Amino acid sequence: CCLYFCSVCVYTVFLNHVFSMCRLRTGTTDTVLQQQASRARNIWGYRLGLEDFAQYLDLPVTDMLTELHSLFNQVDGQIDVREYVIALSVACQPSKAMDTLRLAFGMYEAKEDRAIVEKELASILRTALGVAEVDVTELFSAIDTLDAGKITHDDFCRFVVQHPDFAQEYLLSSRETPSTPHTIPLTNGFSVDRYNTEEPTCSLPGQKRKED
């Protein structure tokens, strides 16, 4: 447990260092994150190599940008820019895990039903946790009570209310330590103290809810 939360600090500090060195974190507000998420969603399906990523960010190719790109490079030298936006959100608001997850769902969800499938949940949590791989099969099945093969952000929020320690129960129970030193505090970061069961929208303590 101590190693887990120590790795939380390592991941956040590392991301902040990389983003700061690339001058990507300065001025990154909630509005900017939403704009970045919208832009990433619009180019969904296109994977970016290093030079394309540099052009996307309007930055020169440097050693630090190469290191940033490599964080999301799984196999083929290309990245899904949505993962970059998730990591940027983690770095800019490390104590607001639910905000990051809401942003991520918005980038991955289908337009017709606002749902995501299992592999998309895996991509979201893998990036948010900062691990090379994460098995979400059991977690996804637990959320997908209708066995529809897809879940929405509201489904996820309701599940978090019922299982506030879901990360420990479903993602970390079979692992002694994270596979890499990059994690964020899922077990404590998803606060549902102000969750309204009549309106399935997650919020953090002190965060104002949007009025209808």
| pLDDT tens per residue across span 29-52 | 899 999 999 999 998 788 999 999
Percent of the chain with pLDDT over 70: 76
Average pLDDT, integer, range 75-88? 93
- Residue 187 within a domain: no
pLDDT above 60: residue 202: no
- Residue 196 within a domain: no
Which residues form the domain of 99?
10-172
The conformation of residue 211, written as its DSSP 8-state character, comes to P
Query: Quick one: pLDDT at residue 9?
Result: 62
Nearest by Cα to 119 from 102, 100, 96, 139: 139
Rounded Cα gap, residues 100 and 15, in angstroms: 14
Per residue in 117-176, pLDDT (tens digit) is 999 999 999 998 888 888 999 999 999 999 999 999 999 999 999 998 888 888 865 444
- Residue 189 within a domain: no
3-state SS assignment for residue 145:
coil
Read off the pLDDT band of 198 (50, 70, 90): very low
- Residue 208 within a domain: no
How many domains does the chain fold into?
A: 1
E runs forming strands in 31-174: 115-116, 151-152
- Output 26 or 45, whichever has higher pLDDT: 45
- Residue 193 within a domain: no
- Mean pLDDT, the chain, rounded, equals 79
- Residue 212 within a domain: no
